[in-house]
Chain A
Amino acid sequence: MSAVAVDGVWKFYGDFPALRDVRLEAAAGSCLALIGRNGAGKTTLLRIMAGFSRPGRGQVRIFGNTPRETETRRQIGFIGHGISVYDELSALENLTLFGKLYGLADPRRAALEWLERTGLERVRNGLVREFSRGMRQRLAVARAFLHEPSVLLLDEPFTALDDRAIAVLQTLLRQALAAGKTIILSTHQLREALELASHVALLNRGQAAFCGSCTPEMAADPGLIYARYGEG
C-alpha cells in the first residue's frame, strides 16, 4: 500500500478547476518533490493532502484513510507558508502545547528533545516574538516533527530559510527518510529538493504533467523536467 495516494482529485474555486484530475502516489519511505510554476496548484494539493480543505471530486488516502480522520492526522506533519507557532508564547510553551494536542505521553520531554535537535534549547523560554527569522523557522520545523509523523508534507520548506535552518531541515529529512518515513515537498529550489527526492511530480495548470522516479540526469539538470513535460 502506498503511503500517500491522490486519486483523481479535483478542486474548484467557484467553477474554476484549480486541480484537474490529479493522480499521484508516494510509496512509504520515498521522497516526492512536487514542482511547478506559481499557481500550478502545488499549495492547493498539499493542503488537500494535509486535510485542510476537501477535494471537490476524487479522494486522498494516507495509509488507506482520509486525511481528516483523527488517527491519520496523528501521522501527518505539515509545514506551510506560515510558521504556525504563537508569537506570544515561548518556544517551549509552543511545543508543549502541540505535544498535548497530539496526545503525546510526555509533551514536555518531547518538546525539550526537539528544541535540542533544532538547536533552540538555549532560548527555550524566550518568546517567539523575540526570535530571529531563522530561529522561528527552526521552531516551525520542530513543531512539524514533534509527534514523529510518518508522512511529512512540506510546502516550500526551503524558501525563506537561512543556511543553518536549511542544514537542520535537510539533516532531519535525511534521518526521516532513513527511518522509512514518507516526504512530499513542493519547491522552487529544485537543486535542494532533487538532492533528497526519489520521485518527482510536475504540476502544470492544475494537472499532473509528469510523475515518476527522479533520474540522475534530472538531478543534474533540473530544467530538463520542465523542458520535457511543461509547456513553454
Chain B
Amino acid sequence: MREKILYVLGIVALLILAWNINAIARLPEETQQGVTFKIIFFHVPMWAAAMTAACAALLASVGFLVTKNFRFDAAAVAVTEVGLAFTTVGLVTGSIWGREIWGIWWTWDARLTSALVCWLLYAGYLMLRKAIEEPTQRATFAAVFSIFAFIDVPIVVFSIKWWRTQHPQPVFWAGGSFPPDWTTHFLWNMVAMLLFGIVMVAVRLRQEEAQREIDSLRRTAHAQ
C-alpha cells in the first residue's frame, strides 16, 4: 500500500513537472538574458528543496540523539542524501547559468562559495557514515556532525558574504520583477520538486530500513 502511494505521488510530481516544463518553454524570452533566464524555474526550487532537507536533517539528528530511535537515523541519512543531490544539481544549474550570463563556469562569489561549503559539509556527513561500522556509533556520531554542520551554515553564509562585499563583485545582475503568470509556473515547479524530493526520501527510507533488517539478520546468522 505504502509503495503504491509512493509511486502515485512520484508520477504526480513528474506529471506536474512535464506539464510545467512545456508551459515554461512557451513563455516569452526574458529581455536581457533570453532563454537562459528560465533556468531559474529549476535552480531556485532545487535550492529550496535542499534547504528544506538540511532543516529536516537537523530535526532528525536531534531526534536520534534524544530518543536513540533508529527511524530518526534513517530519516537523517535519507534527507541528507536527497538534499545533497539537490545541492549538486543546484550547483550545476547555477554554473551553467554563470557560463551563459557571466561567461565563466565558476566565480568565488558569496553565494557560490557558501553553497560549495555546504555541499562539502554534507558530503562529509555521508563519508563519515560510510566509515563507521557499528550502527549505534554511526548514528550517534553522524547526528553530532550533522548538528555541527547545520550550525555552521548561517555562519558560513554571513562570513563569506562579508568577505566578498569587501571585494568588487565580478558581475552584477539586478533582477527585474516576475510577471504573475511566471510566478504561477515557478510555484508549480516548487511544488513538483518538493513532492519529488519527498518521494525520493521515502524510497531511500525504505532502503535504509531494509538494510538495517539485512544487517540484523546477518548478525543473527553469525550468532548461530
Residues of A within 8 A of B (CB): 12-16, 39, 53-54, 56, 205-206
Contact = CB atoms under 8 A, between A and B. Distances in A.
A68 B116 CA distance: 41
Given A39-B223, A205-B223, A13 B70 contact: no
Interface string B180-224: 000000000000000000000000000000001101100110110
A203 to B, nearest CB: 12
B216 A15 contact: yes
Dominant SS among interface residues on chain A: loop
Interface string B37-75: 000000000000000000000000000000010100000
A54 B135 CA distance: 14
B36 to A, nearest CB: 48
A12 B136 contact: yes
21 contacts: A12-B136, A13-B134, A13-B136, A13-B216, A13-B219, A14-B70, A14-B212, A14-B215, A14-B216, A14-B219, A15-B70, A15-B212, A15-B213, A15-B216, A16-B215, A16-B216, A16-B219, A39-B223, A53-B136, A56-B68, A205-B223
A188 to B, nearest CB: 17
A15 B215 contact: yes
Contacts of A15: 70, 212-213, 215-216
B130 to A, nearest CB: 15
Contacts of B212: 14-15
- Interface residue tally of chain B, by bracket? 10 to 19
Contacts of A16: 215-216, 219-220
Given A16-B215, A53-B136, 16 more contacts: A12-B70, A12-B136, A13-B135, A13-B136, A13-B216, A13-B219, A14-B70, A14-B135, A14-B136, A14-B212, A15-B70, A15-B213, A16-B219, A16-B220, A56-B68, A205-B223
Give the interface SS of chain B, mostly helix, strand, loop or mixed. helix
Contacts of B216: 13-16
A13 B216 CA distance: 8
Contacts of A39: 222-223
A170 B134 CA distance: 35
Which of B70, B136, B222 lies at the interface centre, i.e. has the most chain A CB atoms within 10 A of its CB? B136
Nearest to A53: B136
Contacts of B222: 39
7 tightest A-B CB contacts, nearest first = A14-B135, A15-B216, A16-B219, A16-B216, A14-B215, A14-B212, A15-B212
Contacts of A53: 136
A206 B134 CA distance: 17
A56 B216 CA distance: 15
A13, A14, A53, A205: most-surrounded residue (chain B CB, <10 A): A14
B110 to A, nearest CB: 42
Contacts of B135: 13-14
Nearest to A11: B136
A39 B222 CA distance: 9
Interface string B121-164: 00000000000001110000000000000000000000000000
A91 to B, nearest CB: 32
Contacts of A206: 223
Residue among A12, A13, A15, A206 with the highest chain B CB neighbour number at 10 A: A15
Contacts of A205: 223
Nearest to A54: B68
Nearest to B222: A39
Contacts of A13: 134-136, 216, 219
A14 B220 CA distance: 12
Contacts of B70: 12, 14-15
B74 to A, nearest CB: 10
A116 B136 CA distance: 41
Nearest to A37: B223
Contacts of B213: 15
A205 B221 CA distance: 11
B76 to A, nearest CB: 15
Contacts of B68: 54, 56
Contacts of A12: 70, 136
A39 B219 CA distance: 10
A12 B213 CA distance: 12
